[in-house]
Amino acid sequence: MQKNWALHEFADGWGYLSSHDLDQEPLHRMQTIESHISICEPRTVLLARELLRMCVTILAHGNEDPESVLAQGPVLEIVRNVITSLEAMHGDMPIGDAARASRGRRRATAKRKGD
């Protein structure tokens, strides 16, 4: 959509296009996808991570260009849905480096028991 706006502004600057000639399809598609994403509750940690990554991207656009349509994404709804999904997990479940270390300890313990 940003490309469409740039091309439109360039052509409009020369008086070739009216505002009705702007192709809004990419914008409508993005808004449709955002509405689906905003109600999605992740069922896997992978999806939760990707949704949070989208939020970071949207927030970054907000810092770079607050007027950008990309800066107006459904950040709050996405974060709420991720939190709702993560609440079903045990609070003491290790993640990140702690999870990797925990798996390493379990494998070492299993090998010793098998000897």
Residue numbers of the domain that contains 67: 38-89
pLDDT at 8: 67
Flag whether 67 is in a domain. yes
Residue 24 lies in a domain: no
Per-residue confidence (pLDDT) for residue 89, from 0 to 100: 87
Can you give the pLDDT of all 115 residues of the chain as single tens digits? 677 767 767 666 665 556 566 677 877 888 898 899 999 999 998 999 999 999 999 899 888 888 877 778 899 999 999 999 999 888 888 888 888 888 776 666 666 666 5
Q: What is the pLDDT of residue 18?
A: 61
With respect to residue 104, please indicate whether it lies within any of the assigned structural domains: no
Query: In this structure, what token pair is assigned to residue 96?
Result: 């990140």
Give domain status of residue 114, yes or no.
no
Rounded CA-CA distance 34/12 in Å is: 29
Query: Is residue 33 in a domain?
Result: no
Instruction: Let me know if residue 83 belongs to a domain.
Output: yes
Number of domains in the chain: 1
Question: What is the phi/psi pair of residue 95, to 5°?
Answer: -135, 165
pLDDT of residue 3: 74
The predicted model scores a pTM of 0.64
